[in-house]
Structure 1
Amino acid sequence: MKYRQLDRITLLEPGQKLVGERTLAAEEEYLRDHFPRFPVMPGVMMLEALHQAAAWLIRTSTGFDDALVLLREVRNVKFGDFLSPGETLSVEAEVFKTDGPMTTIKAVARKGDRVTVAARLILESCSSGDPEYLDTDADLKRLSREQFFELFGDCPAVAKLRLPGDNESPTTTP
């Protein structure tokens, strides 16, 4: 993940809701071009923050049991405000509906009490489709679990999270 759009998770209720934060730093690579005299987070990056929160919510909800969580559709996108360097985005992702491998997430990002972006995201949980002997799915599950705890393991909302198969530490792979 080249552009990590969540710095920390402040609330995690697997299967229900994830709230995270993202503070925009002035040194971020893409701000040089967007825009040189008025640097603001691109709308697509704000949308990516919603997507990353939704994907982590789904992964934690299933105990990292899905090899892939793919964004299939984005609906009703509404942009409301800019995010400038030094400002913090509060990102909320909430499960709206689950239908088999498809999950609809209601997501919103705010700067203070102002909405910066809101959308409905439809994500699909699935396997890689690779032959079983390659162990691609097992590797993807392990890597996503390790990445999650590496990125967010020090967040109090995550530190208390214990998933089926956890032994002594959250980074232990079953």
Structure 2
Amino acid sequence: MRFSLVDQILALEKGKSITAVKNLSLAEEYLQDHFPGFAVMPGVLMVESIVQAGAWLMRYTNDFEYSTILLKQTKAIRFNSFVTPGKQLKVSLSIQKWDGNLCTLKATSEVEGETAVSGRIVLEQFNLRDKTPSMAENDADRVKDLQSQFNQLWNPNRQTAS
């Protein structure tokens, strides 16, 4: 199963920050078991929404130069409140440090103005061809798909871009 945990990018500043949202619906399959009678977004998926938003910021900043961005490390992650169906998780990240292929981002996610989860993450970007040259075509296909997804999430005429 694949999770898309960013529904819309609200604000994007190249090389600096991103604000995105995830609208939690009771239709999300994972809520059927988490938890019966008290559906809440799993903490790991709250962190994944942060990772996905951070990856969009990195891709936008680097003009989609890399096909793959993965979570390398989490730091000081704090969970403060639940995200329940019908609520919107607003994710904000800012770049703290960028060292080669590693990017450290500070993140805060809120529900109705209350912090739900916060912390720092380190993301690593690379192309599959870096280790396996025969994967270059896969990189190109992946980047094309990502650009298409990005164009659905981000409309600079509707949001704030820098």
TM-score (norm 2): 0.90
CA deviation vs aligned residue, 1:117-171 (integer Å, no higher than 9, x gap)? 112110111111221575222222222112211344487237x78xxxxxxxxxx
- CA–CA separation in structure 1 for the residues paired with 2:148 and 2:87: 29
CA deviation vs aligned residue, 1:38-66 (integer Å, no higher than 9, x gap)? 11111111111100000000000001111
- CA–CA separation in structure 1 for the residues paired with 2:21 and 2:44: 17
Alignment correspondent of 2:112: 112
Deviation at 1:28, TM superposition (A): 1.2
Alignment correspondent of 2:22: 22
Letter in 2 for 1:76: A
Alignment correspondent of 1:9: 9
Secondary structure in 2 matching 1:118: strand
Residues 36 and 133 (structure 1), Cα distance of their counterparts in 2 relative to 1, 3 Å cut: closer
* Number of residue pairs the alignment of both structures matches: 160
- CA–CA separation in structure 1 for the residues paired with 2:46 and 2:106: 14
Alignment correspondent of 2:78: 78
Letter in 2 for 1:22: K
- CA–CA separation in structure 1 for the residues paired with 2:85 and 2:44: 16
- Percent same amino acid at aligned positions? 34
Secondary structure in 2 matching 1:63: coil
1:88 corresponds to 2:88: yes
Give the superposed CA RMSD: 2.0
Alignment correspondent of 2:48: 48
Say if 1:10 and 1:155, in contact at 8 Å, map to a contact too.
no
Secondary structure in 2 matching 1:146: helix
TM-score (norm 1): 0.84
Secondary structure in 1 matching 2:140: helix
Q: Which runs of 4+ in 1 moved over 6 A?
A: none
Residues 44 and 155 (structure 1), Cα distance of their counterparts in 2 relative to 1, 3 Å cut: farther
Question: Residues 77-156 of structure 1: matches in 2 within 5 Å?
Answer: 77-128=77-128, 129-132=131-134, 134-153=136-155, 156=158
For structure 1, which runs of at least 5 residues remain unmatched after alignment? 162-174
Equivalent of 2:159 in 146, 153, 157: 157
Secondary structure in 2 matching 1:49: helix
